[in-house]
Amino acid sequence: MTDTTAPSNFLDNIVREDLESGRVSEVVTRFPPEPNGYLHIGHAKSISVNFGLAERFGGRCNLRFDDTNPLKESQEYIESIQDDVAWLGYHWDGDVRYASSYFEQLYQWAQHLVRGGKAYVCDLSADETREYRGTLTEPGRNSPYRDRPVEENLALLEGMKNGEFDEGSRVLRAKIDMASPNMNMRDPTLYRIRKVAHHQTGDTWCIYPTYDFAHGQEDAIEGISHSVCTLEFEDHRPLYDWLIENLPVPSRPHQYEFGRLNPSYTVTSKRKLKQLVDEGLVSGWDDPRMPTISGMRRRGYSPAAIRRFCDMIGTTRSDGIVDVAMLEHAIRDDLNENAPRAMCVVDPLRVVLVNYPDDKVETITAAAHPSREDMGERELPFARELLIDRDDFREEANKKYKRLVLGKRVRLRNAYVIEAVDVERDSNGEISTVLCEVIEDTLGKDPADGVKPKGVIHWVSASHGVPVELRLYDRLFNVEAPDRGDEDFHHYLTPDSLLVTTAAVAEPGLAAATPEQSFQFEREGYFVADRFDHSAETPVFNKTIGLRDTWQRQDN
């Protein structure tokens, strides 16, 4: 059944028409990543498109690894991709599928093309092949091996399969049209020799099909009704169709293309992301500055926010740059609604309440969320010595400064009104302590004398607060298109995109936070307990995002 509440797009219209006309009886899609890196935000869009179509039309979506190039693939990537898809909240149909499971069938179909005179073994080197292919304005030339007899081609293909030839010495090519205006149709490579073990098939094979040869046939084997991919594969569709038409495949899938997601201030090339990892410029594929799904997860982005972002940008037939601020808006909205509140002092300054009993400790009850009663309450110990952020105090300030000033009042969040009366300094002349007085009977009330506080600041009890490590993350790149043209994206890395402080002190309840639990640190931003490093003994919180978009002001 169609989900009419979801945003419609051109793919929905195609699927709806195909169902109504009877061209298909069931919607079957697939998400087919190559396991040669971690998934990034662009893949999240593709996941949402393929799984979303199946969900909305009561169909099925397969998770299939197009593992045709063992040189760049690994089990680590396979496991991370499965984790990412499941974390985003999607469920694939049946078992995980692999292109490598179809290698024997694909090889038989390669033989079928050779027997039909539609494929041949070519001995041209890679450089010679490029030379023979021609250019966008000039047709290519036929390979001198194009007219080999069928029996010779079959024997050579078998020899390739049996490891009789060196890598790069021979390939199997389709025999299509070297004068085609579409370069993909100029006798494309179908099989190449790779004498390397495969993570699924071991040493069984030493030739492997190309992505273009394998992909459409995998779709046909699995009965895919709508093979959806991004626009860079549009020029590959004629080859997709040619192979389907010339092979005895069990079904006839059709390819459709949509515009890929290109967020600003982001690099989404897996090759370049791997460079960042290999060069030690980030801590790994799941570094919270990375646009990988695992990186965003570790930074505190929620599956709901990522899926909402994918819905916000829509699914169209054109490529374009999407403002990353839309993604940041989605996570702010989600966390504002769902993240409990807490107080954490990033740069502590000691406050002594001179008229508060030295041995007294009050327990102040505060809401975990200002508009979510279902989240309950939290308890905050209040004592004579407190910590506030150093930026929240000045000896002198103009009227625009709404925090603590000597001789002025401020309210402590969820607690009393206090007034600064004096300061103490260390040996360097720096303020080490602010001496304040508690204004009596102001817990939840304005002062009886009518002198209202200028603002509200957060605090923690000096003796009860918990030391925490904060990892303050910024955007990894500082220009809108860091990999435009031929420019080196390294030049646009943001200096100090990670700052770490161990001086911060948080309200005591944060020690009990579970890994991946998010909070709004009041007046500071949204933070998440680190997925791997956080514990009650050593609390570690990653900054997900600030309360407001400060980058927009920088850009202007």
**The pairing of beta strand 460-461 with beta strand 498-501:** unpaired
Can you give the pLDDT at residue 320? 82
| Cα 384 to Cα 90: distance, rounded to the nearest angstrom | 51
Tell me the three-class secondary structure of 88-144, residue by residue: CCCCCCCCCEEHHHHHHHHHHHHHHHHHCCCEEEECCCHHHHHHHHCCCCCCCCCCC
Architecture of domain 10-263: 3-Layer(aba) Sandwich (3.40)
Query: Pick from 317, 335, 261, 318: which is nearest to 291 by CA?
Result: 261
Residues with catalytic roles: 34, 260, 270
Mean pLDDT, range 350-366, rounded to an integer: 97
How many whole angstroms separate alpha carbon 54 and alpha carbon 152? 45
pLDDT reported for residue 483: 84
Distance set, CA 516 to CA 46, 301, 499, 530, 546 (Å) = 25, 9, 20, 6, 17
Q: Do domains 10-263 and 343-464 have the same CATH topology?
A: no
Print burial letters for 480-494: b (CB count within 10 Å at least 16), e (below 16): ebbbeeeeebeebbb
- pLDDT band at residue 486 using 50, 70 and 90 as cut-offs: confident
Please state the CATH superfamily assignment of the domain spanning residues 343-464 in this structure: Ribosomal Protein L25; Chain P (2.40.240.10)
Which tens digit of pLDDT belongs to each residue from 226-278?
999 999 999 999 999 999 999 999 999 999 999 999 999 999 999 999 999 99
Amino acid found at 439: I
Confidence of residue 214 (pLDDT cuts 50, 70, 90): very high
CB of 516 closer than 8 Å to CB of 357: no
**Mind giving me the DSSP string for 356-379?**
S-TT--EEEEEESSTT-GGG-EEE
State the Cα–Cα distance between residues 491 and 474, nearest whole angstrom. Answer: 16
Asked if pLDDT for residue 397 goes beyond 60, the answer is: yes
Q: What is the pTM of this model?
A: 0.93
In this predicted structure, what is the pLDDT of residue 551?
57
Nearest one of 456, 347, 472 to 404, comparing CA atoms: 456
If you average pLDDT over residues 328-333, what whole number do you get?
Answer: 97
**Structure confidence at residue 548 as a pLDDT band (50, 70, 90):** confident
Q: What is the pLDDT of residue 126?
A: 95
pLDDT number for residue 550: 67
pLDDT confidence of residue 3? 46
Average pLDDT over residues 354-380: 97
Residue type (1 letter), 233: F
Mean pLDDT of the chain: 95
Query: SS3 of 198, please?
Result: strand
How far the first Cα of the chain sits from its last, in Å, is: 47
pLDDT at 555 over 70: no
d(CA 283, CA 273): 12
Q: Could you tell me what percent of the chain has a pLDDT over 70?
A: 97
Dihedral pair phi/psi, residue 381, rounded to 5° = -70, 135
- pLDDT band at 146; cut points 50, 70, 90: very high
Each domain of the chain, given as residue ranges in start order, spans 10-263, 270-340+469-555, 343-464
The matching CATH number, chosen from 3.40.50.300, 3.40.640.10, 2.40.240.10, 2.60.40.10, for 270-340+469-555 is 2.40.240.10
Instruction: Dump pLDDT digits (tens) for 286-328.
Output: 999 999 999 999 999 999 999 999 999 999 998 888 999 999 9
Q: What is the pLDDT of residue 2?
A: 45
